[in-house]
Structure 1
Amino acid sequence: MTHVPHPTHVRPALRTLVLALALLALPGTAREQAQAARAATLPIPASGVIGVEDAYLAADFWIERAPAPDAVLMPRAAIDARNARLLREDASMHDLAALADTLARAQVVGWIDGLASPPTKPLWDEAGKPVPAATLQEILANRALEEIPDVQRSRFGLAVERAAMRAFPTRLRVFNRQGETDIDRFQESALFPGDAVAIAHASRDGQWLFVVSARYAAWVEAKAIAEGSRDAVLGHGQRTPFRVITGAKPRTVHTREEPRVSELQLDMGTRIPLAGVAPDQPVNGQHPYAAWILELPVRGADGRLGFAPALLQRNSDSAADVLPLTRANLIRQAFRFLGERYGWGHAYNGRDCSGFVSEVYRSMGVQLPRNTSDQAVSPVFARTRFEPGDSREKRMAAVDALDVGDLIYIPGHVMMFLGRIDGMPYVIHDTNGGTILGADGEPRSLRLNGVSVTPLLPLRFGAGHDYVDRITNIVRVAAPQ
């Protein structure tokens, strides 16, 4: 274990940083001053990530400190009922099973226009070059909005691979600032193998489809979607028996016989039915006894939906059903992503803050809206709302009442509560930044850029506020509304 210096023995620059942390709370009650002092005593290891020792980077460390870690927080029936409510009552969700047999032009145009407005500010590409206006106009024209019919029949499909969901029908990555290469403003989300979609429109070049999934509507490359009947598409995810992926992103076994399902990535929470094939006969050239035989969707040369068996090693992390919703499982599943690079909109084969918490909860059968702005205010979850003028005391009382798995929202970000060490609240979150006060009293970025464990109180939102000041909502997912 790396030696962690005591705050009184750190080198001068770090000692100044520790002292600066004492300014975390504005002058006020003795309780607030005590909170600031508590933050100021956190050790700073060689990593520079304040208050985090090597031992804190293991799930078992937090599970041992959790109250009743294996107690079931919500039974499966209650989770299923709330998922159904989510589809009915949350405007950000789409109930594909309730979709009409035909789609009106106004509905399709509304989905496309509602996703993203035409860019009006300068954008740069990955090479740091300005994106020409003509290029943007070509991308916009590729949407072919004028070709959307007044009425069309509803079409359905399954994702056959992990696929980027884009604001516009293009692979071009664009950024708000020259030199920025992480936050691609055309990147929205991702689909996983077996995700069901409604196919609403095709791009002019035929390379892209505008699809509507349960949680998001966006452009996806056509090669990632196989079109099938409503029954085949919607029924695939309901079939039994099945496996639920509980690892971060295991892959199927390599097969040269069926390359469409060879080493296919399956992200956490993905539900795949088992194939009804003989267990004593080779599958794709290999005996299946040491693996699960999955039935995965594949895309034919004509774009139509088919299915093919694929092997998932039994020693890969999967389960015969969703995991029980317990504090231990919440911690264990969150830590499977620890250290994964932050990926805005699921870029970099990773995920962002809202995607991270969504996939953790999905492995326990809990569905969440896609974005933080929708998760934080969804009508079906128990939540505590804060107004900008709410007192520090009210905010800290809510922080003191946090339970494992609670989701803490600040503008544009969500964190999952882990537990406490000597009264200090800790969180795990997928962050592209992470800021504390530097030795000069100015914000200093930790450049975390990944799934990270951090104490909550030292995290800054600019020089004048910490994260607690900026909390908008706290959502207790593991409780019925």
Structure 2
Amino acid sequence: MRILPTTLFAAALLLCGTSQARELPPPAPGTVPPHGVVGMTEAQLSPDFWVGKLKQPDRVIMDAQAIAAQNEKLFRLDDSMNDLSALPATRPGQEIIDSINELSALPEGSLYDVQGNPVPADTLQQLAQSLDLDAVPATVPTQYGLALRRTALRKFPTELRVFSSQGDTDIDRFQESALFPGAPVAIAHRSRDGRWLWVESPNYKAWALAEDIATGTKAAVFAHLDKAPYRIVTGAKVSTVFTREQPQLSELQLDMGVRVPLADVASDALVNGQHSYTSWVVELPIRDAQGALAFAPALLQKNQDTAAAYLPLTRANLIRQAFKFLGERYGWGHSYNGRDCSGFVSEVYRSMGVELPRNTSDQSISPALDRTTFGKDDGPGPRRAAVDQLQVGDLIYIPGHVMMMIGRIDGAPYVIHDTNGGSFLDADGNMRSMHLNAVSVTPLLPLRFNEKTTYVDRITSIVRIRP
């Protein structure tokens, strides 16, 4: 069933309501380029190519006030989001146990390690025991902390990497997501060995290494989050200046969308052994000598890609921000110091202040987002008509994947997406994999799930960020 909360695709439905659904146009004529990616030329790998095709590329889609209202709506309506500031001082222990069991359930199928060996059943049972659920008290106090560095969020409290099939060493089934420096968490439990914390971030619940989290008071955590002025990381990745004086903050990586407040220091101050006038002096969390949350200044060079505020939400900025990740290797659950498809679009939009749920399964059905969804009873007509109405910045969901629309060439839509695959039919009608495994630009229409089914035929939802 289609869900149409707005008139986003009214024109599309008119197109498919009275006549036989049009066939998708075939891929662009001609041979596949030598690089093997259908429909792509070197010019199309530049954001300027796509921005240049737009009318009013810098028109603001949503202003800061509208974005704040949208974010408030997301946290209010979407159960996958967690308003940490609204958590009570204590919670029932059973609530924490249920939350852990929801994520940390032992898989039913076989798993393999990085060498392709089956993971023994005893190992999996030990992981279940490491959850230490018997130690959860009847009432759990809510503790708070901040992430000190980019750190993984895991399904189980372990660094063991496991895979669904032999030979697959990319999709670690225990990898869930990641936290970035300064990300707030609520802490509810500790693993049996004490090395891992069960944490709730604004958009995820999972296990994080205790050494990467500094615990502090609720007041200290939220005062840091609310502090102004600040810098927004607008590059794919930036890093603080090397410092031997404060090794916890030396060359610390900050990813797109991270917000770092400026430190309260004089404009002529020496910071970590050097004059600060060529850099922004930012305040970042550290662990003090007693292991508790503290804060210290670090230098972020002024030639790094940051801004004094979130970027305006425009179609030009969506394209330019997305292209900053072009070629970055696909990283399931933010592994490989990269990101996956839903993390990619989340961080692009976050650089403009827009929050999204973490996973495609939540993004595509969020009650807070303007969306059109398609069910199994919807034939190809409505999906194909909706594709004709796509606008730059629209998010296109198929099972397990999301793509962002960036423009058209001769009417055919193109997308940018962080993908570990990508296939099309060659001239002989055979499936041909492009082995993309990176943030890539591709035409949408030729992409196929198998010989009979295109990506368009599998669209489950289209989300448009708008007032």
TM range (shorter): over 0.9
Tell me the amino acid that sits aligned with residue 469 of structure 1.
Answer: D
Aligned counterpart in structure 2 of residue 369 of structure 1, from 331, 343, 357: 357
> For the residues of structure 2 that align with 1:92 and 1:172, how far apart are their CA atoms?
26
Q: How does 1:213-292 map to 2 (within 5 A)?
A: 213-292=201-280
Aligned counterpart in structure 1 of residue 382 of structure 2, from 381, 391, 394: 394
Tell me if the contact between 1:200 and 1:209 (Cα under 8 Å) persists in the aligned partners: yes
> Residue 45 of structure 1: CA displacement?
1.3
Tell me if the contact between 1:388 and 1:470 (Cα under 8 Å) persists in the aligned partners: no
Change (3 A) 1:476 1:209: same
Name the residue aligned to 2:198.
Answer: 210
Tell me if the contact between 2:21 and 2:380 (Cα under 8 Å) persists in the aligned partners: no
> For the residues of structure 2 that align with 1:49 and 1:42, how far apart are their CA atoms?
13
> For the residues of structure 2 that align with 1:244 and 1:400, how far apart are their CA atoms?
35
Tell me if the contact between 1:209 and 1:219 (Cα under 8 Å) persists in the aligned partners: yes
> Residue 40 of structure 1: CA displacement?
4.3
Q: How does 1:139-218 map to 2 (within 5 A)?
A: 139-218=127-206
| 1:138 and 2:126 are equivalent in the alignment | yes
Deviations along 1:247-274, one digit per CA (max 9) or x if unpaired, are 0011111101111000000000000100
> For the residues of structure 2 that align with 1:42 and 1:381, how far apart are their CA atoms?
39
Tell me if the contact between 1:42 and 1:51 (Cα under 8 Å) persists in the aligned partners: no
Superposed structure 1 runs of 4+ greater than 6 Å apart:
none
> For the residues of structure 1 that align with 2:207 and 2:427, how far apart are their CA atoms?
46
Q: How does 1:22-421 map to 2 (within 5 A)?
A: 32-33=22-23, 35-37=24-26, 39-41=27-29, 44-421=32-409
Name the residue aligned to 1:26.
Answer: none
| 1:446 and 2:434 are equivalent in the alignment | yes
> Residue 398 of structure 1: CA displacement?
0.8
Tell me if the contact between 1:195 and 1:213 (Cα under 8 Å) persists in the aligned partners: yes
Deviations along 1:370-394, one digit per CA (max 9) or x if unpaired, are 0000000111111111122323232
> Residue 155 of structure 1: CA displacement?
0.2
> Residue 129 of structure 1: CA displacement?
1.3
> For the residues of structure 2 that align with 1:215 and 1:67, how far apart are their CA atoms?
34
> Residue 152 of structure 1: CA displacement?
2.1
Deviations along 1:383-424, one digit per CA (max 9) or x if unpaired, are 111122323232222111111100000000000000001111
Tell me if the contact between 2:28 and 2:39 (Cα under 8 Å) persists in the aligned partners: no
Name the residue aligned to 2:6.
Answer: none
> For the residues of structure 1 that align with 2:30 and 2:197, how far apart are their CA atoms?
51
> For the residues of structure 1 that align with 2:349 and 2:22, how far apart are their CA atoms?
33
> For the residues of structure 1 that align with 2:145 and 2:303, how far apart are their CA atoms?
30
> Residue 119 of structure 1: CA displacement?
2.2
> Residue 440 of structure 1: CA displacement?
4.4
Q: What percent of counterpart residues are identical?
A: 59
Query: Secondary structure of the residue that 2:238 maps to in structure 1?
Result: coil
> For the residues of structure 1 that align with 2:278 and 2:351, how far apart are their CA atoms?
23
Tell me if the contact between 1:158 and 1:226 (Cα under 8 Å) persists in the aligned partners: yes
> Residue 135 of structure 1: CA displacement?
1.4
Name the residue aligned to 1:20.
Answer: none
> For the residues of structure 2 that align with 1:183 and 1:67, how far apart are their CA atoms?
40
> For the residues of structure 1 that align with 2:261 and 2:185, how far apart are their CA atoms?
17
> Residue 301 of structure 1: CA displacement?
4.5
Tell me the amino acid that sits aligned with residue 138 of structure 2.
Answer: D
> For the residues of structure 1 that align with 2:430 and 2:289, how far apart are their CA atoms?
58
Query: Secondary structure of the residue that 2:25 maps to in structure 1?
Result: helix
> Residue 217 of structure 1: CA displacement?
0.3
Q: Over aligned residue pairs, what C-alpha RMSD do you find? A: 1.3
> For the residues of structure 1 that align with 2:102 and 2:222, how far apart are their CA atoms?
25
Tell me the amino acid that sits aligned with residue 109 of structure 2.
Answer: K
> Residue 113 of structure 1: CA displacement?
0.9
Deviations along 1:101-144, one digit per CA (max 9) or x if unpaired, are 10211111121111131122211111111111111111211110
Tell me if the contact between 2:144 and 2:218 (Cα under 8 Å) persists in the aligned partners: yes
Deviations along 1:335-394, one digit per CA (max 9) or x if unpaired, are 000000000000000000000000000000000000000000111111111122323232
Count of residues paired in the alignment: 449
Query: Secondary structure of the residue that 1:350 maps to in structure 2?
Result: coil
TM-score normalized with structure 2 length: 0.94
> Residue 438 of structure 1: CA displacement?
3.5
> Residue 30 of structure 1: CA displacement?
8.7
Name the residue aligned to 2:411.
Answer: 423
Change (3 A) 1:217 1:372: same
> For the residues of structure 2 that align with 1:183 and 1:362, how far apart are their CA atoms?
25
Tell me if the contact between 1:273 and 1:294 (Cα under 8 Å) persists in the aligned partners: yes
Structure 1: where are the runs of 5+ without partners?
1-28
Structure 2: where are the runs of 5+ without partners?
1-18
Query: Secondary structure of the residue that 2:275 maps to in structure 1?
Result: coil
Name the residue aligned to 1:21.
Answer: none
Deviations along 1:279-328, one digit per CA (max 9) or x if unpaired, are 21210011111110010001234431011111111010000010000000
Tell me the amino acid that sits aligned with residue 215 of structure 1.
Answer: N
